[in-house]
Structure 1
């Protein structure tokens, strides 16, 4: 009971701080994020804004550099609302660029640095930009773009490179510009677009989500209210700046509070604890898979010897939550849930193990987030006899949706067709509109919410719904298995999809023991029928598992040279999947 009271106090007080932080957004519509960061260049000009590769960039240096980008934007006859594409790996220049352009009224499209070829053509094409700022480290990736794409952009190269006829030298241009912020004869407010941030593309081409200055403030100041960073904090960011977790939340925690951002070009398991120790990190922004990588790593002398007071992020799965917290002596975990483009946002304020947030009964009407019954087989919400959606009961799995209270409150994507696909109408009353999260969640009797799976990742087998995330958790503690990616594959003559798991390992797996372990922790319909052993599990640039290619690959030994195994319930083990066994499955000669 005392713990319940304590948790209620934490919830109410934290929500109150967030609400207070967000009130100023409507009250002061022109106090955009670049102006808030610039205030620290006046109050504490010599304070370190960014630590990067043994360099220290002060707030004054950051804003001086940003003002040069503002000058560059205006000098190139770009106007309020014009889009500039930015393709650059993590470094201070990335932040100076978008701060400077957005304070001039421009919109910056943040291009995924892992793209090449057709996906890069597509992302640049939908950006609606005519200017591209390209980090020299990505010249090779950009060279894979089509000639048509290259001809559509005036490309500005930033960083060391060999002279090229079709690229403009951005550094040389900026060197000649003033570091003073130019006077503008117009205002930039909440309603103007600041950034385009692309979805990760786990299920196809990425979509460009529109991030207005209002939404940017909501995201940054909401987390600031929850975590309460101060000028003495040091925020460690290893996540890509082109995405919202690293580029908005981690950056906002540091730069809107006068704290320091410790920026890493890329995540390194081997360097993680050395960095945390060296820079005296107090806040770490995570993605769940990074926590798993750290747990799989050998002991490090600094893994308990640190100043971390808070880790914040999303995707920390229940199967590793407690181990992660205990092994690394993590004091506070703030897990959150939300999509870059969506209006469904949750935070787990009190650190309840495995939960992504909480919706107490007394907050239901205020938060306007619902979980509705969903038909996995038909891939659509279930409706009652009157045609309305049905709320889920306690611990029942369904799709999370968020009410679009005012027109435009869901900003959506640059592509209006893609936006409309995410809107569900006539949900509880005629004409109402809700944002579809595309995620299956459940809520317990106390209002704690748990992530179950992505819609499309969950599949049906033997008439039952199978959540890939729950199946993956069953592999978590098995000796030798580092990482698991679960998906469904079609089998001739069978309804639904059978489970298949791609595994990365660091030793030979005892298949009989694995069978026994899975059969004791999973119902028979959820136990994967196939296993595939891989050197590593493919991920997106934001550390999410890629499933599309694995599903397309299937399980044909003629096409897949990696070891594969078939679940044989008679011998109670996994047998090597050879061509003879594959043919029997295809010819429906086996009872599955």
Structure 2
């Protein structure tokens, strides 16, 4: 019999080894991963049971009258959603929708979004989730990419569609139907004195259709790579790209997610993230189709109602992005802050400086943080309940593919700051290290650096580089699917012969570094995309929109770090046309008189006469710039800062704007001696100076 002393010694040794190796963390991820792998490869694939809809149907069979969804005080059972989606499926069929057809969904968060998605899944059609905040050219591009002929929408979003309705119906050939009940729409027509006969859309009369279901056998031909949805994500350049979320990958993801978080039918999960993103839809809604839990769905996130909703609905889990948590922790304290039943929060982008403060203030015991992207072939996870690991994202396991949350990172972490967000991988998980590497990259050209043999160069410990992940399409675990209807953009994400001849890796566009203790840290986003207000912002997209404004000779957009703010705020450097500048004749004469007394280099620099900006013209320009930005860009994409440059922007040999110095200088008044403006709560640009800078550093800026 083991003595107490021996037992204590063994326990101490075990705790010591676990502290050194993080073996328990490996097991926390490894066991659900192995279970999912066995279930997927031994049950789903052999039985042709891949369809994600079948996971929902399983819950309908097991617990038909249990509550599946709660929305604004109304409860929907699994059977309620099944019958409603049956009816809507028959309506889609009556409109000519067939398997693999795409249907564009331009909708807000509501049960109708979920019902429409289910309706398309059960008839093997594909929903294209269109970001409900976009307008104009970006909206048209997204609809063109979906290559559909049918668009369903919430009537409250009709203004965004009406602006481009001629192109949507004429050039793209879309037929449009509103999911909003007919009586509600017609009452609004009456309120505004509009003629219902002149409307440009039809009504989805799906409630009159048959409630008959569709046999499971009808979905046996669904394969791993078939799409469950198209979800748009901002890339490093250009307009949004439609990432293909497929049945195999989504099934693996939500199963692992539910397993790691130990979500069961007894849980109630709060989802206030937009359903047009993979985080809100695939993870937020999809995980309930595996776990059987109840989803409490919110129309949108609200600081003032978040905890009220959580308390009133007995929520035990909630989904977050880092920005959401910052808003909540910065809100005024309330005696009811800890009055909740939340046992776990899951999501991505929770900053280290917010992490423990949030847990302690609101009494949330466990955090599950994830890092990946919509088109990712790998993922990083961290599940922690205490100080150890707070702020970290870890655990890569390529056998546990995730849905691809939109990455919500933070920037400017010191290389060896242990309080910084890091990625830790224990000994079991490090067996997969070959599929995930950090390589050297030229930050100006964004080109990966290669050695004399033509292979990528792995970064040393503490050296920042771009993360690349194995994209081996020979296995289901590391498949790269790419973007729908955009083969060139898909291929642009891939690199061949990265480390050996014949291999293939995916560029993530994210900059990371690692320490000798195997911690992995996020440093920055490479390329032309940055994160703000929980959304990815394409700088090329913003620059293209603003560049059409009369008066702009050239401009470049980039993200800058703002104290006490998550992500990076947009900033645009603008070069105005000559008409905005007035040359001083006296200054020209002075230049000519002194030219002979200076060196040739200095003469070149001084040869152009100095110019003075036309103040009235500049004031009018800034008004027009603000009006254009608010009209043509989503709120999160509006640049928060404007820099009026007095000389041409520097460009690379490939004619790309050099942004490194601009990013470093940002709105630092000691480095920037040109005019600066900032975006005010009034929705316009105002001059930015020492007083405004002090407001930002005090954390009182409303950006």
Specify the TM-score bucket, using the shorter chain as the normaliser: 0.7 to 0.9
1:565 and 1:575 in contact (8 A); partners too: no
Shift of 1:421: 0.7
What secondary structure is seen at the aligned counterpart in 2 of 1:256? helix
Shift of 1:99: 1.3
Shift of 1:444: 2.7
Misfit runs of 4+, over 6 Å: 487-492
Shift of 1:77: 3.0
Q: Which residue in 1 is equivalent to 2:191? A: none
Change in 2 beyond 3 A, CA 1:446/1:63: farther
Q: Which residue in 2 is equivalent to 1:527? A: none
Q: Which residue in 2 is equivalent to 1:511? A: none
Q: How do 1:231-250 and structure 2 match up within 5 A?
A: 231-250=265-284
Pairwise CA RMSD of aligned residues?
A: 3.2
1:360 and 1:446 in contact (8 A); partners too: no
Matched pairs, number: 506
Shift of 1:236: 0.5
What secondary structure is seen at the aligned counterpart in 2 of 1:273? helix
Matched, 1:411 2:432: no
Report the Cα distance in structure 2 between the residues aligned to 1:335 and 1:350, rounded to whole angstroms.
Answer: 9
Matched, 1:166 2:200: yes
Q: Which residue in 1 is equivalent to 2:144? A: 125
Report the Cα distance in structure 2 between the residues aligned to 1:81 and 1:450, rounded to whole angstroms.
Answer: 40
Q: Which residue in 2 is equivalent to 1:230? A: 264
Q: Which residue in 2 is equivalent to 1:277? A: 311
Report the Cα distance in structure 1 between the residues aligned to 2:492 and 2:38, rounded to whole angstroms.
Answer: 31
1:133 and 1:158 in contact (8 A); partners too: yes
Report the Cα distance in structure 2 between the residues aligned to 1:410 and 1:139, rounded to whole angstroms.
Answer: 36
Shift of 1:34: 1.2
Q: Among residues 299, 315, 329, which one is paired with 2:363 in the alignment?
A: 329
Q: Among residues 18, 29, 32, which one is paired with 1:17 in the alignment?
A: 32
Shift of 1:16: 1.6
Report the Cα distance in structure 1 between the residues aligned to 2:676 and 2:215, rounded to whole angstroms.
Answer: 69
Q: Which residue in 2 is equivalent to 1:181? A: 214
Matched, 1:443 2:514: yes
Change in 2 beyond 3 A, CA 1:397/1:458: farther
Q: Among residues 238, 243, 258, which one is paired with 2:292 in the alignment?
A: 258
2:275 and 2:281 in contact (8 A); partners too: yes
1:107 and 1:194 in contact (8 A); partners too: yes
Matched, 1:82 2:95: no
Change in 2 beyond 3 A, CA 1:458/1:405: closer
What secondary structure is seen at the aligned counterpart in 1 of 2:304? helix
TM-superposition CA deviations, 1:249-292 (whole Å, max 9, x none): 11123232111000001100000111111111111111111111
Report the Cα distance in structure 2 between the residues aligned to 1:578 and 1:115, rounded to whole angstroms.
Answer: 27
1:457 and 1:487 in contact (8 A); partners too: no
What secondary structure is seen at the aligned counterpart in 2 of 1:348? strand
What secondary structure is seen at the aligned counterpart in 2 of 1:554? strand
Report the Cα distance in structure 2 between the residues aligned to 1:434 and 1:219, rounded to whole angstroms.
Answer: 21
Q: Among residues 450, 465, 469, which one is paired with 1:398 in the alignment?
A: 465
TM-superposition CA deviations, 1:114-161 (whole Å, max 9, x none): 011111111111101111111222112211224121241121211131
What secondary structure is seen at the aligned counterpart in 2 of 1:32? coil
Change in 2 beyond 3 A, CA 1:202/1:427: closer
Q: How do 1:36-55 and structure 2 match up within 5 A?
A: 36-55=55-74
Matched, 1:318 2:337: no
Q: Which residue in 2 is equivalent to 1:568? A: 670
Shift of 1:3: 6.5
Change in 2 beyond 3 A, CA 1:117/1:63: same
2:50 and 2:247 in contact (8 A); partners too: no
Q: Among residues 295, 301, 304, which one is paired with 1:267 in the alignment?
A: 301
1:191 and 1:213 in contact (8 A); partners too: yes
Report the Cα distance in structure 2 between the residues aligned to 1:179 and 1:65, rounded to whole angstroms.
Answer: 10
1:269 and 1:294 in contact (8 A); partners too: yes
Report the Cα distance in structure 1 between the residues aligned to 2:675 and 2:218, rounded to whole angstroms.
Answer: 70
Q: Which residue in 1 is equivalent to 2:426? A: 360
1:453 and 1:468 in contact (8 A); partners too: no
Report the Cα distance in structure 2 between the residues aligned to 1:321 and 1:185, rounded to whole angstroms.
Answer: 46
2:269 and 2:315 in contact (8 A); partners too: yes
Matched, 1:485 2:598: no
Q: Which residue in 2 is equivalent to 1:554? A: 643
1:22 and 1:222 in contact (8 A); partners too: no
Which runs of 5 or more residues in structure 2 are unaligned? Answer: 1-12, 187-195, 395-423, 531-557, 576-625, 647-665, 678-686, 688-703
After TM superposition, the score normalised by the length of structure 1 is 0.78
Shift of 1:15: 1.7
The higher radius of gyration belongs to 2
1:274 and 1:302 in contact (8 A); partners too: no
Matched, 1:221 2:255: yes
Matched, 1:71 2:154: no
Change in 2 beyond 3 A, CA 1:567/1:76: closer
Report the Cα distance in structure 2 between the residues aligned to 1:353 and 1:109, rounded to whole angstroms.
Answer: 36
Which runs of 5 or more residues in structure 1 are unaligned? Answer: 460-466, 477-481, 493-534, 558-563, 583-592
1:234 and 1:254 in contact (8 A); partners too: no
What secondary structure is seen at the aligned counterpart in 2 of 1:411? coil
Once the two structures are overlaid, the 10-residue window that deviates more, 198-207 or 61-70, is 198-207
2:570 and 2:637 in contact (8 A); partners too: no
Q: Among residues 424, 434, 446, which one is paired with 1:379 in the alignment?
A: 446
Report the Cα distance in structure 2 between the residues aligned to 1:555 and 1:483, rounded to whole angstroms.
Answer: 25
1:347 and 1:356 in contact (8 A); partners too: yes
2:88 and 2:206 in contact (8 A); partners too: no
Q: Which residue in 1 is equivalent to 2:380? A: 346
TM-superposition CA deviations, 1:462-500 (whole Å, max 9, x none): xxxxx978x54xx22xxxxx66735677799xxxxxxxx
After TM superposition, the score normalised by the length of structure 2 is 0.67
Report the Cα distance in structure 2 between the residues aligned to 1:51 and 1:22, rounded to whole angstroms.
Answer: 31
